[in-house]
């Protein structure tokens, strides 16, 4: 069976994974939410169409989204070093995680906002709402259930990315799975890691779905 040292290691790994995932998701939303809104608002069918801004921002988002995470992880090491001082450990991993997931979050946000009924936006404009008022009084509150559901998807995706960072010493459950489960062929450790990751994804997804439903006033 697993030694108590191993269990201790796994416990720390679990905490590191949760730390990376939650902090990265949070920072990714700080960047991705406004970018997603900007993409929606400046779209040619948006409330304030602006082709240049839309194409430049959209272009950057697409470029970042098209680089596979495992490559981005290595490619941004100089940036990571410049910000954190090291490229190893869970705090350092937050940098590539944010760079990779913020554009993803922006697209998820954009697609949630697109679900808001055009008529409601038109009605608010007819009442004299400014662009900013439409954004924070109509778009965000009306899309909230969908935004929360999207956040659950983003969190689980970021969790998956964080495990990948184990290959370059990113810390967390991924590192344990690769160092012990893969390099040392300890299949019992690998099994526990996979089970833990599956469990965490389930929990995040369920919580997200539950809150999303709970706050949706369209459900009777």
Whole-number minimum distance, CB 33 to another protein, in Å?
17
- Going by C-alpha positions, the residue among 79, 80, 53 that lies closest to residue 170 is 80
Contact (Cβ atoms closer than 8 angstroms) between residue 101 and residue 157? yes
Q: How far is Cα 10 from Cα 196, in angstroms, rounded to an integer?
A: 10
Q: Binding residue for another protein (CB under 8 A) from 11, 74, 141, 203?
A: 141
**With 0-12 CB in 10 A as exposed, 13-18 as middle and 19+ as buried, what is 22?**
middle
Binds another protein by CB under 8 A, chosen from 124, 165, 175, 212: 124
Q: Which of 144, 194, 201, 211 binds another protein (CB under 8 A)?
A: 144
Cβ-based nearer residue to another protein, 109 or 173: 109
DSSP codes, 161-188? HHHHGGGGT--HHHHHIIIIIIIT--HH
Which whole-number Å values give the CA distances from 84 to 70, 87, 94, 125, in the listed order? 19, 7, 9, 45
Among 125, 194, 201, 211, binds another protein (CB under 8 A): 125
- Of the pair 62, 131, the CB lying nearest another protein is at 131
- Where does this chain touch another protein (CB under 8 A) — which range of 39-47, 129-137, 163-171, 205-213? 129-137
Residue 5 or 45: the one with the smaller Cβ distance to another protein is 45
Q: How many residues bind another protein (CB under 8 A)?
A: 25
| 211 sits near another protein (criterion: CB under 8 A) | no
Residue 214 makes contact with another protein by CB under 8 A: no
41, 109, 138, 200: which one binds another protein (CB under 8 A): 138
| 132 lines the binding site for another protein (CB under 8 A) | no
Could you tell me the two tokens for 126?
């007819």
Considering only residues 29 to 88 of the shown chain, the ones binding another protein according to CB under 8 A are none
Q: What is the DSSP string of 68-135?
A: -HHHHHHHTHHHHHHHHS-SSSHHHHHHHHHHHHHHHHHHHHHHHHTTS-HHHHHHHHHTT--HHHII
Among 3, 66, 126, 185, binds another protein (CB under 8 A): 126
Interface pick for another protein out of 137, 184, 213, 214 (rule CB under 8 A): 137
* Contacts with another protein, residue ranges (CB under 8 A): 117, 119-120, 122-130, 133, 137-138, 141-142, 144-145, 215-220
């Amino acid at each position: 069976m697993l030694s108590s040292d191993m269990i201790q290691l796994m416990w720390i790994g679990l905490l590191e994974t949760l730390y990376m995932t939650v902090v990265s998701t949070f920072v990714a939303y700080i960047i991705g939410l406004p970018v997603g809104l900007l993409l929606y608002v400046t779209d040619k069918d948006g409330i304030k169409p602006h082709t240049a801004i839309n194409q430049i921002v959209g272009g950057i988002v697409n470029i970042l989204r098209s680089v596979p995470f495992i490559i981005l992880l290595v490619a941004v090491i100089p940036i990571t070093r410049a910000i954190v001082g090291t490229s190893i450990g869970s705090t350092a991993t937050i940098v590539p995680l944010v760079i990779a997931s913020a554009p993803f979050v922006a697209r998820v946000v954009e697609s949630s906002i697109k679900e808001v009924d055009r008529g409601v936006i038109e009605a608010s404009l007819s009442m004299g709402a400014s662009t900013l008022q439409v954004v924070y009084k109509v778009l965000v509150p009306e899309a909230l259930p969908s935004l929360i559901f999207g956040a659950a998807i983003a969190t689980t995706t970021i969790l998956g990315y964080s495990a990948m960072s184990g290959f370059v010493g990113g810390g967390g459950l991924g590192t344990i799975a690769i160092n012990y489960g893969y390099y040392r062929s300890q299949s019992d450790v690998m099994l526990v890691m996979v089970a833990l990751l599956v469990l965490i994804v389930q929990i995040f997804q369920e919580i997200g779905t539950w809150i999303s439903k709970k706050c949706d006033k369209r459900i009777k």
